[in-house]
Amino acid sequence: MWNIRKTQKLVKEARILARQQQWTRASSVYQAIIEKEPNNYKIIVQYAHCLKESGQRSAALASYKAAIELDPLEYDAYLYAADMEYERGDFDAAKIFYIQSLAGMPHNRAILDKLNKIIDDEFEIELLLCREYIKRFSIALTKKNHNIAYRLLRNIARSCARSANWEGAEKYYVWALKFLSKSDWSERHKLFRQLGHCSKELGKLDVAEFYYRKSSSYDPTDFEVYAHLGQIKNNKKLLNLSNFLQSSQGDTLTLLSKFVAENVNVVRSSYKVPLVGITAPLVGVTANKICSSLVGVANKGRRDIILSDIMRHLD
């Protein structure tokens, strides 16, 4: 009978073989696991690694793509597939995979450097990233999972923030993140945004910028990130863009999609200077309906806190 102990035993065996660079034998063990657990994303990625190292590059690329099909919100399989496509000279395919990987890790400079070898237009990268955020966000909207530990730690963090105990708030938000499902993009977006607030109040502006960018990668429809980044980077264009998006009407995701569709294929020479003077992934941020109705906020007190926070950072 197949059970988790059997899986753990085989995984351990495969890892030992891989460390010994016995790639063919390791791939055979991983293949045996996949036959019993065909939806195990991590095992499929490891199987692809072994195939690549054993010289079966076409099979390895196919396995990376199978992992992507299984979980399109992960990012590492995109990166490995991109590297393989780049090595074999298919730069168009590599470009797409690098963009998809960067969307999952927007703070990863190494991926951006690889992408810059294919695309030397910063604004084009912004637009392609934005298009990818829209795709990922649409997928992630259907997934939500809160647990008791996460909610408890989040509420403690909120209490700390209300009393301006920013160090305590930061600590508890980081702890809460450990208990938050990777598939709950809405909550991860909010949590990273709150971590940005904490770092900003503590004067750690580089860290705040990282958290705000991470937040925007989880929800490309939140105008607030533009406002905070514009404030900490002293960028009037970002603040103006935030104000414009805040006053926008209609389905913000549709508006964003339309903007990207109209600009993603623009001839490079038309954009000698980036439109808003920012770097990835901030083109993927636009208005959220919370700006007018604050739908989904738990209570009036919390709404007032958010409104005052927004106004304070826009002053």
Q: Enumerate long-range contacts of 73-77, CB under 8 Å, 24 or more apart.
A: 73/104, 73/136, 73/139, 73/140, 73/182, 73/183, 73/185, 74/41, 74/104, 75/100, 75/101, 75/103, 75/104, 75/105, 76/45, 76/101, 76/104, 77/41, 77/45, 77/48
Other Cβ atoms less than 10 A from the Cβ of 297: the count is 15
Across the range 70-79, mean pLDDT stands at: 88
**Burial bucket for residue 134 (CB in 10 Å: 0-12, 13-18, 19+):** buried
Across the range 26-33, mean pLDDT stands at: 95
Across the range 167-186, mean pLDDT stands at: 87
- Confidence band of 142 (pLDDT split at 50, 70, 90): low
- Confidence band of 20 (pLDDT split at 50, 70, 90): very high
Q: Which of 1.20.1730.10, 1.25.40.10, 1.10.3720.10, 3.40.718.10 would CATH assign to domain 148-314?
A: 1.25.40.10
Across the range 168-182, mean pLDDT stands at: 88
CB contact at 8 A, 143 and 184: yes
Structure-token pair, residue 94: 């590599």
| pTM (2 d.p.) | 0.55
Query: Which pLDDT does position 263 carry in this prediction?
Result: 55
Question: Distance (Å, rounded) from C-alpha 59 to C-alpha 17?
Answer: 19
CATH tag, 4-140: 1.25.40.10
Q: Which of 291, 276, 256 is nearest to 131 (CA)?
A: 256
CB contact at 8 A, 233 and 209: yes
Domain ranges of the chain: 4-140, 148-314
pLDDT at 258 over 80: no
- Confidence band of 264 (pLDDT split at 50, 70, 90): low
pLDDT at 293 over 80: no
Query: Which pLDDT does position 123 carry in this prediction?
Result: 78
User: Considering only 39-53, 151-165, 191-205, which range has the smallest mean pLDDT?
Assistant: 151-165
Percent of the chain with pLDDT over 90: 37
pLDDT at 283 over 50: no
Query: Which pLDDT does position 10 carry in this prediction?
Result: 93
Structure-token pair, residue 20: 């010994």
